Homo-oligomer: A and B are copies of this chain.
Amino acid sequence: MRPVSIHTGAWRYPGAQRDANFNLHALIRYAQTLERGCFDAFFMADHLALLNMPLEALKRSHTVTSFEPLTLLAALSQVTERIGLVATASTSFEEPFHIARRFASLDHLSNGRAGWNVVTTANPDAARNFGLDDHLEHDRRYARAREFHEVVTGLWDSWADDAFVRDPESGLFFDPARLRRLDHQGEFFKVQGPLHIARPPQGWPVIVQAGASEAGRQLAAETAEVIFVAPGTLADGQAFYRDIRQRMALLGRPADHLKILPGVLVVVGDSEAEAKAIRARLDSLVHYESAIASLSVALGVDAKGFDPDRPLPPIPETNDSRSSRQRVLELAEREGLTVRQLAQRVGGYAGLSFVGTAQTIADEMQAWLENEGSDGFNVMFPWLPGGLDAFVDQVVPELQRRGIFRRAYSGTTLREHLGLPWRPNRHFSPAPSANP
Contact = CB atoms under 8 A, between A and B. Distances in A.
B285 A171 contact: yes
B24 A108 contact: yes
A194 interface: yes
A62 interface: yes
Given A12-B168, A128-B192, A59 B95 contact: no
Interface stretch (A73-81, A227-235, A253-261, A373-381): A73-81
Given A62-B173, A65-B159, A196-B50, A98 B102 contact: no
A252 to B, nearest CB: 33
For the complex formed by this chain, how many copies does it contain in all? 2
B97 A130 contact: yes
B173 A71 contact: no
Given A67-B197, A109-B24, A164-B19, A60 B95 contact: no
Contact of A94 (B98, B168, B175): B98
A365 B386 CA distance: 56
A311 to B, nearest CB: 25
A49 B105 contact: no
Contact of A171 (B60, B94, B131, B166): B60
A422 interface: no
Given A75-B77, A166-B11, A173-B62, A131 B68 contact: no
A198 B168 contact: no
A373 B141 CA distance: 53
Interface in A298-347: none
A7 interface: no
A62 B287 CA distance: 57
A130 B95 contact: yes
A109 B197 contact: no
Nearest to A46: B196
Contacts of A128: 190-192
Nearest to A93: B95
A160 interface: no
Given A49-B196, A72-B74, A166-B18, A67 B172 contact: no
Ranked nearest first, the 7 interchain pairs of A and B with the lowest CB-CB distance are: A68-B105, A128-B192, A74-B74, A171-B287, A71-B74, A78-B78, A65-B198
Interface of A: 11-12, 16, 18-19, 22, 24, 47-50, 55, 58-62, 64-68, 70-72, 74-75, 77-79, 93-95, 97-98, 101-102, 104-106, 108-109, 125, 128-132, 159, 164, 166, 168, 171-176, 189-194, 196-198, 285, 287, 290
19 contacts: A11-B166, A18-B166, A22-B198, A49-B192, A50-B194, A59-B176, A60-B173, A61-B173, A64-B174, A68-B102, A71-B74, A74-B75, A75-B78, A78-B79, A93-B95, A94-B98, A97-B130, A128-B191, A132-B190
